């Protein structure tokens, strides 16, 4: 039996560029950020890297990073 048509392949952006879902864009205020990386561990999407740079192609704009940030270093800006 040929199972090949039934198998899904791993793909970055399996649902496309989900950044288009966003109403608010998280913007990091560099002067306040102390790189504690809490936002990195709590981002459901995994779009924040070690340098606290956000991948806007896929960020859905949920705002969890803004809420979790103790330094209040992330601001949600309307798109």
Kindly state the smallest distance separating residue 73's Cβ from other proteins, in Å. Answer: 15
Confirm or reject binding of residue 62 to other proteins (CB under 8 A): yes
Residues 54/47, Cβ–Cβ less than 8 Å = yes
Phi, psi of 4 (to 5 degrees): -50, -45
Choice between 13 and 32, CB closer to other proteins: 13
79 scored as a contact of other proteins (CB under 8 A):
no
Min. distance of Cβ 32 from other proteins in angstroms? 18
Residue 29 interacting with other proteins (CB under 8 A): no
Burial class (CB in 10 A: 0-12, 13-18, 19+), 74: buried
């Amino acid at each position: 039996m040929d199972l090949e048509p039934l198998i899904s392949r791993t793909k970055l952006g399996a649902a496309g560029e989900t950044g288009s879902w966003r109403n608010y864009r998280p913007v990091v205020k560099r002067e306040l950020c102390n790189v504690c990386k809490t936002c990195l561990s709590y981002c459901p999407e995994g779009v924040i890297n070690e340098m606290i740079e956000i991948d806007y192609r896929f960020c859905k704009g949920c705002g969890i990073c803004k809420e979790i940030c103790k330094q209040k270093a992330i601001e949600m800006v309307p798109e």
